[in-house]
Chain A
Amino acid sequence: MTWFDSSVHRALAEAVLVGALGGVVGVHVLIRRLPFFTMALTHATFPGIVIAALLGADLYLGGGVFGLLITLAVVLFSRVRGQDFTAATGIALAGGFALGVVLVSAQDGFAKDLTAYTVGDILAVSARDLAITAGIAAAVTLLLVVFRRELLITAFDPVGAAALGLRTALIDFILLAAVVVTVVATVPALGVILTVALLVGPAATARLLTDRYALLFPISAAIGVSCGVAGVWLSTVWNVAAGASIALLVGVVFGLVFLGSHGAALVRRRAAARPL
Chain B
Amino acid sequence: MSLIEPFQTPFMARALAELIILGVLGGTVGVVVLLRRLAFLSDALSHTIFPGVVAGYLLAGEDGVFWGALAAGIATAALLTLLTRRVAQDAALALLLTTLFAAGVVLVSRRSGYASDLTAFLFGRVLTVTPEQLWQTAAVAAVVIALLAALRRPLLLRAFDPVGAEAAGVRVGLLDLVVNVAVALTVVAAVRAVGMVLVIALLIVPAAAARVLSDRLTVIVPLACLIGAAGGWLGLVVSWEASIGYGLRLASGGTVVLVLVAMYGLAQAAGLVRRRVRLGRARTGLEAVQ
Contacts and interface: CB of A to CB of B under 8 A. Distances in A.
A and B touch in the complex (CB under 8 A): yes
Interface string B215-227: 0000000000000
A200 to B, nearest CB: 4
A91 B264 contact: yes
Interface in B232-253: 248-251, 253
B278 interface: no
Interface stretch (A10-18, A63-71, A178-186, A236-244): A236-244
Interface residues of B, number: 54
A102 B87 contact: no
Interface stretch (B7-15, B104-112, B153-161, B176-184): B104-112
A90 interface: yes
A208 B83 CA distance: 12
A36 B40 contact: yes
A58 to B, nearest CB: 24
Contacts of B109: 240-241, 244
B122 interface: yes
B75 to A, nearest CB: 13
A99 B245 CA distance: 20
A33 to B, nearest CB: 6
Given A36-B94, A193-B47, A89 B257 contact: no
B106 A244 contact: yes
Most buried by B among A33, A258, A262: A258
A95 B258 contact: yes
A261 to B, nearest CB: 7
A250 B102 CA distance: 10
Interface in A140-154: none
Given A87-B34, A102-B250, A208-B87, A94 B261 contact: yes
B25 interface: no
A98 B39 contact: no
Interface in B47-105: 47, 83, 86-88, 90-103, 105
A94 B198 CA distance: 6
Contacts of B86: 208, 258, 261-262
Contacts, number: 189
A158 interface: no
A97 B105 contact: no
Interface string A75-109: 00000000010110111011101110110111000
A255 B86 CA distance: 12
A84 B236 CA distance: 29
Contact of A94 (B87, B100, B201, B211): B201
Contacts of A262: 86
Contacts of A101: 123, 197-198, 251, 253-254
A36 B90 contact: yes
A101 B261 CA distance: 14
B99 A252 contact: yes
A90 B43 contact: yes
Nearest to A120: B105
A97 B197 contact: yes
Contacts of B40: 35-36, 39, 86, 90
Contacts of A216: none
Interface of B: 34, 37, 39-40, 43, 47, 83, 86-88, 90-103, 105-106, 109-110, 114-116, 118-119, 122-123, 197-198, 200-201, 204-205, 208, 211, 248-251, 253-255, 257-258, 261, 264
Given A39-B94, A98-B255, A204-B95, 15 more contacts: A35-B90, A35-B93, A86-B40, A90-B43, A94-B204, A95-B258, A98-B198, A98-B261, A105-B249, A106-B250, A110-B251, A193-B101, A196-B94, A200-B91, A204-B91
16 contacts: A33-B88, A35-B91, A43-B197, A87-B39, A91-B204, A94-B200, A95-B205, A98-B197, A102-B255, A105-B251, A118-B122, A194-B101, A200-B91, A244-B103, A247-B101, A251-B102
